[in-house]
Amino acid sequence: MLSEKMQQALNQQINEEFCSAFIYLGMSAEADRIGLPGFSNWFRMQYQEELSHADRFFNYILERNGSVELLTIGKPELTEETPLSLFEKSLKHEQHITVCISRLKDLARSESDHATDVFLEWFVSEQVEEEANAQNVIDQLRLVGDNANGLFLIDRELATRTATPAE
């Protein structure tokens, strides 16, 4: 059974994951608005991935006989974005989520909640991947600078991203 403190923290993480999904959906719309369908696709796939993360936390709380509490999601702040600014915001957000997951791990360990500690291991690895993926695109965008041909090639590459089934 989950402690009240752990249950509250996991519910907060559900909210973080839904907020992430909402941010990525907004980024997808913004990328589409500026004429980059590949970027839009990448962000849309990220949106779906974040929903699956929220679902993992949701199911875990229920498996541990906890109560799920869904919280309010704020509006993402996205105006006049560039491809680079979108991915810089993505990286910054993923770094925030990494901190959130680390705090959950710390809480699970402080409460000797071994099941939750093990459950969170997947998310620790996932966050390493999330940050690396965003940084990779940032590096490519910085490399091509204002070169439209380079941007077009990155857009084509990002268009190939497909949804990956959750493990």
pTM of the model: 0.94
From the options 1.20.1260.10, 3.30.1220.10, 3.10.180.10, 3.40.50.150, give the CATH code of 4-158. 1.20.1260.10
Closest CA to 113 of 151, 64, 162: 64
DSSP three-state, residue 113: coil
- For residue 130, the one-letter residue type is E
> How large is the average pLDDT for residues 34-43?
97
Closest CA to 10 of 128, 131, 113, 91: 113
Q: Where are the domains of the chain?
A: 4-158
Mean pLDDT for all residues in the chain = 96
What's the rounded Cα separation, in Å, for the pair 95 and 133?
A: 12
**Apex 23 CA angle, 166 and 163, nearest 5:** 25
The confidence band for 167, taking pLDDT boundaries of 50, 70 and 90, is low
- C-beta atoms surrounding 88 within 10 Å: 18
Mean pLDDT is lowest, of 31-45, 68-82, 84-98, for 68-82
Residue 42 has pLDDT above 80, yes or no: yes
Residue 130 has pLDDT above 80, yes or no: yes
pLDDT of residue 77: 87
